[in-house]
Structure 1
Amino acid sequence: MVDYFFSQYREYPTLDIFLEIVAVVFGLLSVWYAKKDNIWVFPTGLISTSIFVYLLWKWVLWGDMMINGYYFIMSIYGWYHWSRKEGETVAFPISKISRSEKRIAIILFIFTVAFVTLVYYFFDKFTTWYAYVDTFITGIFFVGMWLMAKRKVENWIFWIIGDLISIPLYFAKGYTFTSFQYLVFTVVAIFGYLEWKKISNNAQTELQK
């Protein structure tokens, strides 16, 4: 069983294995902090995504590399956005997505999928079945990260969908540690959605009093 899951690591440099494990650990911490609505989601995410950008560049997984590069940039934006206050009150608390934000999310998804598809065609990367899945999942994660940076409850729905697809996807690519990471991500994302939804509903109830 162990050999089935980890045999591909025999050919990997020890440094790459160590870096993948570190990136996974900080990625798990980041999602846990996100669930708790804790601003540490961003510094831990920056560490994880910066390592993954390097590894994915080495592994020539450009779609995944672009996702993590985008995560890195949005983590900086989210860190700033979450830290803004009006006096002692958080300027942008957890809330549900608005109609205009839904339109932006759809546009962002379509644009992202189209852009990644063009990149893959240009570099002739549509050589495996999971390359096609990459184009779709990149769009899902781009929207999810944008919504999380804006503290929207619905970000978790996109993470759940993307994480579920990523579990078999990364295993098929030969990155077992990362596949296990997405399994844990899925569980945490489900609880994160329930927790953020409860916080949002409670806030709405307080406003109506």
Structure 2
Amino acid sequence: MIEYLFSPYESYSWTDILLEVLGVAFGLLSVIFSKKNNVLVYPTGMISTAIFVCLLFKFGLLGDMMINAYYFIISIYGWYIWTLKVDPIHVTPITYTTKKEHKISVLIFLASIVFVTIVYHVFDKWTSWTAYVDTITTAIFFVGMWLMAKRKVENWLYWIVGDLISVPLYFYKGLTLTAIQYLIFTIIAYFGYRAWIRYQNNSVIKA
């Protein structure tokens, strides 16, 4: 089994392998910091996504490449929101998604589907079932990133669903380390969801 999972790496350059290891390491750090409600989620995440933009372009996963490019950009916005003070002492708190934000989430999801579909058509990448899966995961992660930047509890639900779909996708594409990363992401996201519920409940009690 181990030989089967890691056999694709025989054809990879050492540069690609090293980049994937670094991308996975910083990605794990980013999710751990997110679970802890620590703003370091953004600088570590930006390093990881910059690495994966290069790797994913090479492997033809344009949707996930755009996820990482989008994450890099929205990280700047998220970094600002997470450090924005709502009063002289407190920064933007963790809250639940409002009805309006749920509607915006649906619009972001649908717009992402359309956008990624157009990109795949332009680059003529509809060559495998992975392209369709990649389109769905891209839309899910786009919503999750936006909600995380807004510090909404429900962002973790999107991460859990997207991560679970990504695990077999990356195994199939031969990026075993990345697939393992997403499996770990799923576990961390579950505990992150529970942790943010506690953070939110505690903030309500203190208020």
CA offsets 1:133-192 (integer angstroms, 9 cap, x no match): 111110000000000001000000000000000000110111000000000000000000
The alpha carbon displacement at 1:78 in A equals 0.7
Aligned to 2:46: 46
The alpha carbon displacement at 1:205 in A equals 3.2
SS in structure 1 at match of 2:52: helix
Aligned to 2:169: 169
CA offsets 1:79-130 (integer angstroms, 9 cap, x no match): 111111121211x110000111111100000000111011112222111111
What CA distance in whole angstroms lies between the structure 2 residues aligned with 1:108 and 1:81? 19
CA offsets 1:2-35 (integer angstroms, 9 cap, x no match): 2111000011010110000000000000000000
CA offsets 1:52-76 (integer angstroms, 9 cap, x no match): 0111122222111101000101111
The 10-residue stretch of structure 1 (119-128 or 185-194) with the greater mean CA deviation from structure 2: 119-128
Aligned to 2:89: 88
Aligned to 1:35: 35
Aligned to 2:100: 100
Aligned-partner residue type, residue 18 of structure 1: L
What CA distance in whole angstroms lies between the structure 2 residues aligned with 1:159 and 1:32? 13
Aligned residue-pair number: 206
Aligned-partner residue type, residue 88 of structure 2: G
The 10-residue stretch of structure 1 (127-136 or 37-46) with the greater mean CA deviation from structure 2: 127-136
SS in structure 2 at match of 1:17: helix
Aligned to 2:120: 120
What CA distance in whole angstroms lies between the structure 2 residues aligned with 1:60 and 1:180? 19
Q: Is the 8 A contact 2:35 2:188 kept in 1?
A: yes
Aligned-partner residue type, residue 6 of structure 2: F
Aligned to 2:78: 78
Q: Is the 8 A contact 2:61 2:134 kept in 1?
A: no
Aligned-partner residue type, residue 89 of structure 1: H
Structure 1 vs Structure 2 CA RMSD: 0.9
Q: Does 1:154 align with 2:128?
A: no
Please list every run of 5 or more consecutive structure 2 residues that lacks an aligned counterpart in the other structure: none
After TM superposition, where is structure 1 displaced by more than 3 Å over at least 4 residues in a row?
Answer: none
